[in-house]
Amino acid sequence: MAVSNIQTKMTVIVGTNGTGKSTVALHILKALNVPRKLVLTRQLEEWDEYPINELLNPADFRFRGINRHIPVNISQTLEKLHYLRNCALLFDDARKYLTAKTDDELNALYISRRQYAMHIIFIAHSFDQVPVQAYSFATDFILFKTVKQIDRGRLAQLNEPEKFIEAKNRVDREAITNHHYFERIKI
If one counts the domains in the chain, the total is: 1
Buried b (16+ CB within 10 A) or exposed e, 57-90: eeeebebeebbbbbbeebeebbebbeebeebbbb
Could you list the pLDDT tens digit for every one of the 187 residues in the chain? 344 445 789 999 999 999 999 999 999 999 999 999 999 999 888 999 999 999 999 999 999 999 999 999 998 999 999 999 999 999 999 888 887 777 788 989 999 999 999 999 999 999 988 888 888 899 999 999 998 888 878 888 888 888 889 999 999 999 999 999 999 998 7
Dist. CA 64–CA 120, nearest whole Å: 17
| Contact (Cβ atoms closer than 8 angstroms) between residue 181 and residue 171 | yes
pTM: 0.92
Domain that holds residue 116: 3-186
pLDDT for the residue numbered 1:
38
pLDDT for the residue numbered 2:
42
| Contact (Cβ atoms closer than 8 angstroms) between residue 16 and residue 129 | no
Please give the C-alpha separations between residue 75 and each of 13, 59, 62, 105, 112, in angstroms, as whole numbers. Answer: 23, 21, 21, 7, 17
pLDDT for the residue numbered 128:
87
Radius of gyration of the chain (CA): 16
Task: Using alpha carbons, select from 59, 47, 115, 122 the residue that is nearest to residue 87.
Answer: 115
* One-letter amino acid of 187: I
pLDDT for the residue numbered 54:
96
The domain that contains 64 carries what CATH number? 3.40.50.300
